[in-house]
Structure 1
Amino acid sequence: MNIWVMRHGEAGFNASSDSERTLTSQGESVAKKQGEWLAKRLNAQQIVLDKILVSPYRRTQQTLDCLFQGMQAVDLGKNFTNENLIEIWEGITPSGDLDNVCSYLAFLREEGAKNVLIISHLPLVYDLVLALTAQQETVHFYPAIIAEIDWQSNFGKITAVEKP
């Protein structure tokens, strides 16, 4: 399974709660550029996403929207039209349970999923990369960074990191 782990774009702090924080204009712009990179990468490898897991927090939802806009710019946005592709999941909020996330990814792999995108938060994205690579590789997840992981067994390997 190929897994793309993305931290949401840069968010402001003017919100009534953490879950309501919104992207800054810089966060939106960078997420769109990351969408272009991801689309080119998927196109080059002839990959179609099987599942997109996204936190219900507003900034991750906005990141997905901007990522989609960037992907459309290189004509890959059509892959987002299947609503079954996107799963909004409480389990990947900032306090998400790492073991549950890893178990769900293993389940998706067993069910035949080959390509999964996750848009989430710190510290979960950092911890997830560590867990998927058996503590062998780390990524410093600044806003909107995407790490690509080849997770064919219980030991994954980072194959790309896109830093905006």
Structure 2
Amino acid sequence: MKIWVLRHGQAAAQAATDAERPLTAAGQQEVRLMASLLQGQPLDAILASPYLRAQQTAALVCTELGYERGVATAPWLTPDDDPCEVLRYLAERQERNLLLVSHQPLVSQLLSMLCEGHRGAHVPMPTAALACVDTDFVAAGLGSLVLHRTPADLSA
């Protein structure tokens, strides 16, 4: 199974609530740039946090890829969710290529759990960063980080 993890693009600093912060124009551009790395990937599903910036990021990815299956909202992908709970949800899924669109600190902690077996390893995930973990079985420490890119990597 390939688990693709995409942090949302740059978001506005202020909104009525954290969940309502929209992507900025720069954030939209970051997401379009990073979506190019997903071209040709046989994504079975895209799951996104219910927060506006994650939903907007996922929608932009769908547009850029011509992905027509839509985005499923996963309430367990918000910033402060427990990466152990996310692993439990992922272990129940049948997809072989899954894209998760979420937030810090969850994305770094999830990547650490998947690859190192604990949440303490630092995996830098600035806005719109994309990582891919390859694993035969979803469990702590069994994954291999096979891709890790940031918008700065592509625009340099």
Check whether TM > 0.5: yes
Aligned pair partner of 2:68 in 78, 81, 86: 81
Q: How does 1:12-161 map to 2 (within 5 A)?
A: 12-39=12-39, 43=40, 47-71=41-65, 77=66, 80-83=67-70, 86-108=71-93, 112-135=94-117, 138-153=122-137, 154=139, 155-161=142-148
Q: How many residues align?
A: 146
Whose RCO is larger (CA < 8 A, sep 6+)? Answer: 1
* Native 8 Å contact 1:33 1:70 kept in 2: no
Deviating runs (4+, > 6 A) in structure 1? none
C-alpha distance in 2, partners of 1:70/1:135? 33
Deviation by residue 1:101-128 (Cα, 9 ceiling, x = unmatched)? 10111111xxx31111000001100110
* Native 8 Å contact 1:139 1:147 kept in 2: no
C-alpha distance in 2, partners of 1:90/1:67? 19
> Is there any run of 5+ residues in structure 1 with no aligned partner, and where?
72-76
Call closer, same or farther: CA 1:138–1:150 in 2, change over 3 Å.
farther
C-alpha distance in 1, partners of 2:150/2:79? 21
Structure 1 equivalent of residue 154 of structure 2: none
Call closer, same or farther: CA 1:63–1:121 in 2, change over 3 Å.
same
C-alpha distance in 1, partners of 2:11/2:34? 16
Partner SS, residue 124 of structure 2: coil
> Is there any run of 5+ residues in structure 2 with no aligned partner, and where?
152-156
* Native 8 Å contact 1:27 1:144 kept in 2: yes
* Native 8 Å contact 1:35 1:69 kept in 2: no
Partner SS, residue 9 of structure 2: coil
The CA RMSD over aligned residues, in Å, is 1.6
Indicate the structure with greater helix content.
1
Q: TM-score, structure 1 length as denominator?
A: 0.83
